[in-house]
Amino acid sequence: LTFDTEQNLMSIEIPKDGLTLNPSKVYLGTTYEKIGSTDFVTTLLGRSSMGRLGLYLNITADLGHVGSFSNWTLEIHCVQPIRVYPRMVVGQVAFWHTSGTRVPYAGRYAYDEAPIPSRDFGMEWHPINSDKGGAQSEDP
């Protein structure tokens, strides 16, 4: 999926010969592998070689929860046009020991298998050039 500046969602399958990603967009992709653990917290970070090309894998969501197994949604952004390919290795996973009592994750993103847009229904997103004056949030 891609999320463009007008908040239009559209599904894109990356062709065998690749797809060029463009700046000023956030692309939602998914990992080929299911990632998770009942014993460890996981983090998914971009490979340094991809970062040096200006490709960011996760804008904010790099931390997985104990007990969550899913195909992770990737929040992909690039600072210059970059070509990506199906099953391209763009990230790396680390597993971290926990301490204390483990409480398995049961949140709204557990067991996802495809790229998932935000499920925070109370949040509004406004394009910067909208009539509402840009991205705004109101404190409750």
* Catalytic positions: 75
Q: What is the dihedral of CA 79, 120, 113, 105, to 10 degrees?
A: 110
Is the distance from CB of 45 to CB of 31 less than 8 angstroms?
no
Taking the C-alpha atoms of residue 78 and residue 117, their distance in angstroms, rounded to an integer, is 18
SS3 content of the chain, % helix, strand, coil (to 5): 5, 35, 65
Among 45, 36, 44, 43, residue whose Cα is nearest residue 104: 36
DSSP conformation letters of 14-46? PPTT-EEE-TT-EEEEEEEEEE--SSEEEEEEE
